[in-house]
Amino acid sequence: MPKLDSYLFREFAQATFAALVVLMVVSLGGVFADVLGDIARGRVPAGLMLSQLGLQVLNYLPLILPLGLMIGLLLSVGRLYRDSEMPVLTATGVGPRRLLRPVLMLVVPMVGFIALCSLWLGPWARDYSQRMVEAGNRSLLLAGLDAGRFVELPGGRGVVYMGGMSNDGSHMARVFVYQQDEDRMDVTTAATGELKVEDSGDRFLELGDGFRVEGPLREGMDFRMMRFASNELQLPDADGRRDEDDPATASTLALFGDDRPEASAELHFRIAPPLLALAFALMAVPLARSPPRQSRYGRTMLAFLGYFVSVNLMMLGQDWIADGKIGAGIGLWWLLLPLLALGIWSYARDGQPGRRRRVAA
């Protein structure tokens, strides 16, 4: 590898890595907030927080990596212009077209990895996440309940205490449950308990051999007490039964043989990120050109705005395909092909002298 290519590749890779680190930290905060919200609503067991966080990050990589690649190239090439390295390279015969080799040395592996995440890792992460949640909802351990301490029910609907629990987290003993609904309270005690999950995804605590006391929360003597041999206590709604026919969790190969509009929309949405990354990577080099004494952040904001609009159009196009407004043959090509053509054209025209105006004598 020539020293110039090695130097330029190192500069591009370092800037791209720094941009990706910042984007991943910002994205991780948003994903973490979403996972905590699902846990607070009782949709995801608390014991699966870290695993769900990692799987959700894998799901968003096809949208984060193209943006990081574009910003990294913008910053690195812009620094070459700012430090007058590009004018020196141009004076020695190294123009923007000569940069294509080190640019492709970074872009090609990145586009390949984005394609891997979009076509395989993302669908696998969504499917595995739903399987983990479905299995976790059947275990009291993963639901955050533990023996020997008071635990708030997922969703904030009450407090549970249990004196003992089986090793698999499905059976419990010496159960105390306190619930509050507006101005009424409900206290239930039972000798045994078991977690039941129906096919619809609804979860129940089946309590056995106990007492239930219901009465006013503040003033009044309207209390009722009953003894029961068996009583069911519904837990907050969790993520329902996993849909085997959901295109979002199906493999990419399975989508090719699926004629449903939803499957076609999902297939085109998975193909789009690597092509989007290639188009904006090619546009990043001419956009990073900054003459002396000119701000270089205006074009960076322009590129970010263009990427934001393109991603939103991509999501909107997915909905149009799923609703049947756009045929599967057209797909998202109306967006991707013009972006690729624009990227190739802008890179080919970068550094070319413009036409001189004729001045009348």
Query: CA-to-CA distance for 133 and 241, rounded, in angstroms?
Result: 10
What is the per-residue pLDDT across 16-27, written as a single tens digit (0 to 9) for each? 999 999 999 988
Residue 67 has pLDDT above 80, yes or no: yes
What is the per-residue pLDDT across 160-206, written as a single tens digit (0 to 9) for each? 888 887 776 667 888 888 887 777 888 888 888 887 766 666 667 78
What is the per-residue pLDDT across 74-116, written as a single tens digit (0 to 9) for each? 988 888 888 777 778 777 777 667 778 888 999 999 999 999 9
Mean pLDDT computed over 255-270: 88
What is the per-residue pLDDT across 135-152, written as a single tens digit (0 to 9) for each? 776 655 545 566 777 777
3-state secondary structure the chain: CCHHHHHHHHHHHHHHHHHHHHHHHHHHHHHHHHHHHHHHCCCCCHHHHHHHHHHHHHHHHHHHHHHHHHHHHHHHHHHHHHCCHHHHHHHCCCCHHHHHHHHHHHHHHHHHHHHHHHHHHHHHHHHHHHHHHHHHCCCCCCCCCCCCCCEECCCCCEEEEEEEECCCCCEEEEEEEEEEECCEEEEEEEEEEEEEECCCCCEEEEEEEEEEEEEECCCCCCCEEEEEEEEEEECCCCCCCCCCCCCCCCCHHHHHCCCCHHHHHHHHHHHHHHHHHHHHHHHHHHHCCCCCCCCCHHHHHHHHHHHHHHHHHHHHHHHHHHCCCCCCCCCCHHHHHHHHHHHHHHHHHCCCCCCCCCCCC
Q: What pLDDT does residue 358 have? A: 46
Q: Identify the residue with better confidence: 246 or 226.
A: 226
Q: What pLDDT does residue 308 have? A: 92
Nearest to 272 by CA among 230, 207, 321: 321
Beta strands at 224-234 and 203-216: parallel, antiparallel or unpaired: antiparallel
Mean pLDDT computed over 121-128: 89
Please state, for a pLDDT cut of 70, what percent of the chain lies above it.
Answer: 82
Residue 280 has pLDDT above 60, yes or no: yes
**Greatest extent of the chain over all pairs of C-alpha atoms, in Å:** 109
Residue 269 has pLDDT above 60, yes or no: yes
Which residue bears the tokens 């059976």? 171
Q: What pLDDT does residue 20 have? A: 93
Q: What pLDDT does residue 139 have? A: 59
pLDDT tier for residue 240 given thresholds of 50, 70 and 90: very low
Q: What pLDDT does residue 361 have? A: 39
Mean pLDDT computed over 22-50: 82
pLDDT tier for residue 222 given thresholds of 50, 70 and 90: confident
Q: What pLDDT does residue 354 have? A: 47
pLDDT tier for residue 260 given thresholds of 50, 70 and 90: confident
**Residue 182 C-alpha from the chain's centroid:** 37
Asked if 63 and 23 touch (Cβ cutoff 8 Å), the reply is no
pLDDT tier for residue 359 given thresholds of 50, 70 and 90: very low
pTM of the model: 0.74
Q: What pLDDT does residue 192 have? A: 87
